[in-house]
Amino acid sequence: MVFSRRTLRRLAADAGLLFAAAAFVLPLAWVVLSSLDAQADLQVKVPGELTLDNFDAVLEPEITFTPLLNSLILCGGATALTVACAALAAYPLSRFRSRFNRPFLLTILFATSLPITAIMVPVYALFVQVDLIDTMHGTIFFFAASQLPFAIWLMKNFMDGVPKSLEEAAWTDGASAFQSLLRIVLPLMGPGVAVVTVFSFVMMWGNFFVPFMLLVSPDQMPASVSINDFFGNRGTVVYGQLAAFSVIYSTPVILLYVLISRRLGGGFALGGAIKG
Partner 1 sequence: MTAEVAPGPAGASPRSPGSGRRGRRLIRILPLSPALVLLLLFLAGPIGYCAYIAFTDLQLTGQASSSFVGLDNFRKAFGDDDFRNAVWLTLVFTVVSSIIGQNTLGLALASLMQRASKPVRTLTGGIVVTAWVLPEVVAGFLLYAFFRKEGTLNAILDWLHLPGQNWLFTLPILAVSFANVWRGTAFSMLVYSAALNEIPKEITEAAEVDGASGWRRMWHITLPMIRRSIGTNLMLNTLQTLSVFGLIWVMTRGGPGNRSQTLPLFMYEQAFQKSMIGYGTAVALLLLVVGSLFSLVYMRLLRTEV
Report 186-215 residues binding partner 1 (CB under 8 A). Answer: 186-188, 190, 202, 205-209, 212
CA 107 to chain centre: 23
Min CB(53)–partner 1 separation in Å: 19
Regarding 168 and contact with partner 1 (CB under 8 A), the answer is yes
Task: Give dist(CA 232, CA 215) in Å, integer.
Answer: 19
Min CB(254)–partner 1 separation in Å: 6
Stretch that binds partner 1, among 50-58, 61-69, 106-114 (CB under 8 A): 106-114
- Closest to partner 1 by CB, 26 or 50: 26
- Closest to partner 1 by CB, 59 or 105: 105
Going residue by residue from 130 to 149, which x/- string records binding to partner 1, judged by CB under 8 A?
Answer: -----------xx-xxx-xx
Regarding 16 and contact with partner 1 (CB under 8 A), the answer is yes
Burial 205-238 (b: 16+ CB within 10 A, else e): bebeebbebbbeeeebbbbbbbbebbeeeeeeeb
- Chain positions 207 to 266 lying near partner 1, rule: CB under 8 A, are 207-209, 212, 223-225, 227-228, 239, 242, 246, 249-250, 253-254, 257, 266
Residue 61 has, within 13 A of its CA and on its CB side, a CA count of: 2
Calculate Rg over the CA atoms of the chain.
Answer: 23
- Chain positions 41 to 70 lying near partner 1, rule: CB under 8 A, are 41-44
Answer for which of 2, 4, 61, 122 binds partner 1 (CB under 8 A) is 122
Stretch that binds partner 1, among 9-17, 47-55, 61-69 (CB under 8 A): 9-17
Q: What angle do CA 181, 187, 191 make, to 5 degrees?
A: 120
Cα distances (Å, whole numbers) of residue 8 to 5, 11, 12, 88, 101? 5, 5, 6, 54, 53
Min CB(61)–partner 1 separation in Å: 21
- Closest by CA position to 152, among listed 78, 93, 76, 80: 93
Min CB(38)–partner 1 separation in Å: 17
Stretch that binds partner 1, among 48-56, 60-68, 173-181 (CB under 8 A): 173-181
Phi and psi torsions of 267, nearest 5°? 70, 10
Answer for which of 38, 59, 111, 136 binds partner 1 (CB under 8 A) is 111
- Can you name the residues that pair with 235 across neighbouring β-strands? 232
Task: Give dist(CA 228, CA 66) in Å, integer.
Answer: 15
Answer for which of 119, 219, 259, 262 binds partner 1 (CB under 8 A) is 119
